[in-house]
Amino acid sequence: MCKNILVIAGILILVLSCKNNQNNLVSHEIIPSPSKIISTDGSLLVGKNLYVIMDDNSIDANRVKSYIRGFFSQTFQTENLPKQSKDGFLIYLNIEQGFSSEAYNLKVDKEGVHISASDYAGLFWGFQSLRQLFPPEIESGKRPDNLELPFVEISDEPRFKYRGMHLDVCRHFFTVDELKTYIDMLVMHKFNVFHWHLTEDQGWRIEIKEYPKLVEIGSQRSETVIKKNWGEYDGIPYGGYYTQDEIREIVKYAEDRFITVIPEIEMPGHALAALASYPELGCTGGPYEVAKTWGVFDDVFCAGNEKTFEFLENVIDEVCELFPNSPYIHIGGDECPKTRWETCPKCQLRIKEEGLADEHELQSYFIQRMEKYINAKGKKIIGWDEILEGGLAPNATVMSWRGEEGGIAAAKQYHDAIMTPGGYCYFDHYQSEDVENEPFAIGGFTNCEKIYGWNPIPDTLTADEAKYIIGVQANVWTEYILDLPHIQYMVLPRMAALSEVAWSNSTRDDYSEFKKRLQTMFMRYDAAGYNYAEHELE
């Protein structure tokens, strides 16, 4: 009932915003908010035949054109059309110099729609804004009669070059089609990075040809703890993994939408699934079991064993081939207990031979050694802020999750940092204080208003240091998230609020104005079939 009331209210807002109630003119309820919008008198009558006009058949140009035609495939006639028929809707795509990366200009006038940018990503994001000039039902392939678009000119560019959404598929597994839906959600909100968390204590999810046991053994756990009741299990075997062909399919799907997929291969901790598959890689030799509970475990990769590095280098070889367009490999680096290393003869010998002070410097040795190998493959590493321990690897990017301190420390050392502090960016937190009526979550409280008001560039940084804060990311850990509708509920509409932080350069001091635009976005979610937390408008 509440959702129906919101939908009706949103429709009334749209109707009132129209210049002519007989037509379908919509107000500019775009999320994330563009840098500049200029409205002029008049409107474009949208014909039923779609023409995407661009004299460019490069790979990226065809990606943009194919996406537009595909998006409108149920809405317009797009195939076998006479050239620019009378009932035409023309979208002109132009590559021009003078724009910053991913920036665009969008103009609707009597001739049609003109989108200009210096790169194809800019054209793509420009179309996402055009998409939001249409009535929400366009998301389901429907269109009203006598459709018109208001004359408008939009100039826009992103605030950050890295705008990320993470998903953990290890605690709970999600199909290829579900991941494609998740990527579609990123596209709607102009995020350009999908951080794919692929290995964990509770499951190894990526096929590695060199090590078949990783999916034969490591992708399966015998049962799963029930909520937070340690010692109480469901008794149901659980597993799943992605074949290399499926990995390529997801990477291509994202690439066709100008989204970079960054794989995460955890090291040196969170490695129980790998150790269960190849116990010789641990300090004790096992036996090990794929974890049935959540948390942090003492058994990690042995830092004194050369076989560990041989294994990880071979894994990285295959990962780099599967993710050719990602400039990064995320290596985790977080929550690595030193308990086993403290008593492991091989690890202690490594500390002595390398002249290291302690186990923290051993972790730094581990990370820096793997970074050198990954750099040689033409990639850079990202790690959680624990990689600062014992000395930061030379070319590493820090992902600051334990508050903002890690990002500040990295920026002051002139290292790139991505802000993802738990208090603002962990979308596995509750988004209402009425937890009794919310889906079960890990804890915490993070709502849209809190995210919307966040500034990811701390005041403690100088202007020069602030340049090293290259972006933001939200993380979706799935210990207590079992299916796609639950993911969508946890992510939407918080993703909309974060998209304003990540993209919009305008000052975010009017949350009520954002909520007005969010009403229209809710109708888009409904049309697209997405689940969401409707109480964010209360």
* DSSP-derived secondary structure letter, 242: B
Instruction: With 0.85 as the threshold, say if the pTM is over it.
Output: yes
* Domains of the chain with CATH codes: 25-156 (3.30.379.10), 162-503 (3.20.20.80)
Res 77: pLDDT: 85
Res 8: pLDDT: 40
Res 392: pLDDT: 87
Which candidate, 445, 533, 460, 436, places its Cα nearest to that of 494? Answer: 533
φ/ψ of residue 511, rounded to 5: -65, -30
What are the Cα distances from residue 102, in Å, to 156, 159, 162, 374? Answer: 9, 10, 11, 27
Contact at 8 Å (CB) between 379 and 328?
yes
**Amino acid type, 243:** T
Which candidate, 534, 507, 497, 530, places its Cα nearest to that of 31? Answer: 497
DSSP string spanning 412-478? HTT--EEE--HHHHBTTEESSS-GGGS---SEEE--HHHHHT--SS-TTS-HHHHTTEEEEEEB---
**Structure-token pair, residue 152:** 């408008």
Peptide bond between residue 32 and the one before it cis (omega within 30 degrees of 0): yes
Radius of gyration of the chain (CA): 25
Name residues of the chain where pLDDT drops below 50.
Answer: 1-27
**Amino acid type, 377:** K
393 burial type by CB count under 10 A (0-12 exposed, 13-18 middle, 19+ buried): buried
Which candidate, 248, 260, 252, 158, places its Cα nearest to that of 206? Answer: 248
What residues pair up with 330 in beta bridges, in sequence order? 264, 382
User: Over the stretch 161-213, which tens digit does the pLDDT of each residue have?
Assistant: 999 999 999 999 999 999 999 999 999 999 999 999 999 999 999 999 999 99
Contact at 8 Å (CB) between 76 and 87?
no
Res 10: pLDDT: 45
Distance between CA 67 and CA 450 in Å, rounded? 34
Contact at 8 Å (CB) between 334 and 270?
yes
- Residue burial 72-83, b: 16+ Cβ < 10 Å; e: rest: beebbbbeeeee
φ/ψ of residue 425, rounded to 5: -120, 10
Res 508: pLDDT: 76
Peptide bond between residue 268 and the one before it cis (omega within 30 degrees of 0): yes
Res 80: pLDDT: 58
First-to-last C-alpha distance (Å) of the chain: 14
Contact at 8 Å (CB) between 198 and 268?
no
**Structure-token pair, residue 23:** 């037509």
Contact at 8 Å (CB) between 107 and 153?
yes
Distance between CA 40 and CA 271 in Å, rounded? 58
Distance between CA 113 and CA 128 in Å, rounded? 13
Res 393: pLDDT: 87
Distance between CA 228 and CA 213 in Å, rounded? 29
Cα 392 from chain centroid (whole Å) = 25
Distance between CA 374 and CA 366 in Å, rounded? 12
What are the Cα distances from residue 226, in Å, to 292, 479, 518, 533? Answer: 10, 10, 35, 24
Res 78: pLDDT: 78
Distance between CA 402 and CA 424 in Å, rounded? 11
Contact at 8 Å (CB) between 509 and 493?
no
Res 530: pLDDT: 98
CB-facing half-sphere around the CA of 441: CA atoms within 13 A? 24
Query: ∠ at Cα 467 (374, 462), nearest 5°?
Result: 130
Only one residue has tokens 């560039």, namely 457
Peptide bond between residue 493 and the one before it cis (omega within 30 degrees of 0): yes
What are the Cα distances from residue 222, in Å, to 225, 288, 291? Answer: 10, 13, 9
